[in-house]
Structure 1
């Protein structure tokens, strides 16, 4: 199949926005939990009052309807399982229902449940149940896969399995649509991201910030530059970062900063206790933090090196840095930065 012919349609006050789904591509909808649930239920036809619609091969229809069930695989957060069945029995039941002859062992290995094939679903962990649900949604080889917040409350190992499943689906030329609650997570999954807020949906375009550079002193003013440098060395310097907000300057101890994020032209600085909106660009903050232990790990992120606790390799081209804050924030690491960060941390 060369073209999926599926559009996600959002009716807004300003008109209609269309997200075109392409084979071999993952689209991420970044939104809060309630909006994400409404979005998915609207696509499946459960919520007809909302503003989200799906056009499949030119016709509006619910993705869970009989006309689309062969081509679409959906997994929602609140979807249940037949917990009295064993893992193997559950998958065989759905394979028979869809008239599928897929290798069961390969599917069990893909979701990390090979050793629990004969265990009852009721005894599985929350993460294992979610993985089994994802397997159910793709065992009939659909063209379009829709997953609601697939990594919510999953353990790290299960998150890695989910990423591998998404990568595998993309390699098979499938179209994947997922929702997630954080931008960090969205950026580490795909580069095609849309932010959904109520009835408004906008693409998130991440632009590389221009590096700031100052002209070097010429031969005629070398003496003046030397005097200026000497004066700066004699002037007492505050060991804090001065952050300019909309109406004031805030003094922050750099050691308290976990990471800095740039989204749609706005810069957000996160400490242990709060998030601060800042008028400095990411490039300006990078320059001001040169004498501290901060690293530009991604074109949209600066991270405090002392806050990093883990380096996750999701796939060959997808990496994240896990921080030591309460949320264990996962910050995306650019592919080109992987070798640099390994050298910095001594790997």
Structure 2
């Protein structure tokens, strides 16, 4: 059995929460095994969706789900799971021909069919396009209302802020809650060049080159045309220097170039994102508490 020795007591308590709940961990992949082990010994029925899933590749999508429907004795759940994950058009597709994104949604659909007390999902948005993200986030948002728990683990800071529910950073030093409250951007003097590093090479970016900046685990990264570059400045310092160039503090951990924003996406009633020209399909998180400030500032 996988070990849970690496988990702090506070994390174990979160895994044992009863009733309808949604808990999300930002953590390194090696901490997923202890999370799974703790849930496995909890005494509750748990549906596991791992980052490394195996399939019966000769079966088609519908037959695969109906196999688990028969095993679980949950009549009528296969069709509902297909619809929830947007897989109706792939119901007769052999599993070996599904895309990685479809396989991820199929894994979730399999656990929907089994109807466990707790859903545990690793990297829920991995490889998803906008429609896939919407399907998964809407389903996750609705899980607590059924009296079940949804627990997710991801190595992506961006992803954890899009997921509905409580958010925590988990590492070898313990557990830290990620607050949703926003820090106000300070006023200051802007500059024309922003320093960043690619390996040992120092780069100087024009503000217009930067799509967004994010802060995770005490480190700041700039996203430029889909590539990430380490930046020694804090997000607060960047906010001060970039505000006059049209950057907006959309989230505690994100600063976005509003010139690059194409769409405001509402994934669920409490999960919003800004979709950028060169940004990730899931978008950059937009805190609910920052929406009114953005409307006032940009007059829409």
What TM-score results when the alignment is normalised by the length of structure 2? 0.78
Secondary structure of the structure 2 residue equivalent to 1:278: coil
SS at match of 2:128: coil
Is 1:54 aligned with 2:38? yes
Which residue of 2 is the match for residue 254 of structure 1?
A: 207
Q: Specify every segment of 5 or more residues in structure 2 that has no aligned partner in the other structure, as ranges.
A: 197-202
Residue 333 (structure 1) aligns with: 286
Aligned to 1:108: 82
Separation in structure 1 between the aligned mates of residue 282 and residue 94 of structure 2, nearest angstrom: 33
Closer, same or farther: CA 121–343 of 1 in aligned 2, 3 Å: farther
| Inter-partner Cα distance in structure 1 for 2:286 and 2:252 | 9
Distance 2:165 2:222 in 1: 23
Superimposed CA distance per residue, residues 7-41 of structure 1 (whole angstroms, 9 cap, x where no aligned partner): x96537xx755342333222222134xxx2x4333
Structure 1 residue 147, shift from structure 2 partner: 0.9
2:121 aligned residue (141, 144, 147): 147
User: What is the distance in 2 between the residues matched to 1:41 and 1:251?
Assistant: 40
How far is the alpha carbon of 1:341 from its aligned partner?
Answer: 4.8
Give the stretch that moved more between structures: 87-96 or 205-214.
205-214
The structure richer in helix per residue is 2
Does residue 201 in structure 1 map to residue 159 in structure 2? no
Higher Cα radius of gyration: 1
211 and 10 in structure 1: CA distance in 2 versus 1, 3 angstrom threshold: farther
Note if contact 2:273-2:284 (Cα within 8 Å) is conserved in structure 1.
yes
Q: Which residue of 2 aligns with 1:315?
A: 268
| Counterpart residue number, 2:31 | 39
Give, in whole Å, the separation in 1 of the partners of 2:169 and 2:211: 24
CA contact (8 A) 2:137 2:268 kept: yes
Separation in 1, partners of 2:131, 2:296? 25
Q: Which residue of 1 aligns with 2:59?
A: 85
Mapped partners of 1:10, 1:323: distance in 2:
41
- 1: distance between equivalents of 2:271 and 2:261? 17
Query: 3-state DSSP class of the match of 1:128?
Result: helix
- Alignment equivalent of 1:275, drawn from 221, 225, 230: 230
Given the superposition, is the C-alpha separation of residues 41 and 210 from structure 1 closer, same or farther in structure 2, using an over 3 Å criterion? closer
Confirm whether residue 18 of structure 1 aligns to residue 11 of structure 2.
Answer: yes
Runs of 4+ in 1 over 6 A off after TM superposition: 342-347
Question: What's the counterpart of residue 47 of structure 1?
Answer: none
Deviation of residue 296 (structure 1)?
A: 2.1
Q: Which runs of 5+ in 1 are unaligned?
A: 1-7, 45-52, 215-236, 245-249
The CA RMSD over aligned residues, in Å, is 3.6
Counterpart Cα distance in 2 of 1:202 and 1:270: 26
Cα distance in 1 for residues equivalent to 2:247 and 2:49: 39
Aligned-pair distance for 1:74?
A: 0.6
Query: Residues 312 and 74 (structure 1 numbering): CA distance in 2 closer, same or farther, change over 3 Å?
Result: same
Distance 1:252 1:204, change over 3 A: farther
**Distance across 2 between alignment mates of 1:40 and 1:114:** 31
The secondary structure found in structure 2 opposite 1:240 is coil
Q: How many angstroms does 1:212 deviate by?
A: 4.9
Say which is worse superposed, 123-132 or 15-24, in terms of deviation: 15-24
The one of 47, 55, 65 aligned to 1:73? 47
Distance 1:163 1:310 in 2: 18
Compute the displacement of 1:344 (Å).
7.1
> Cα–Cα, structure 1 residues 125 and 260, in superposed 2: closer, same or farther, change >3 Å?
closer
- In structure 2, the CA distance between the partners of 1:103 and 1:54, relative to structure 1 (3 Å rule), is closer
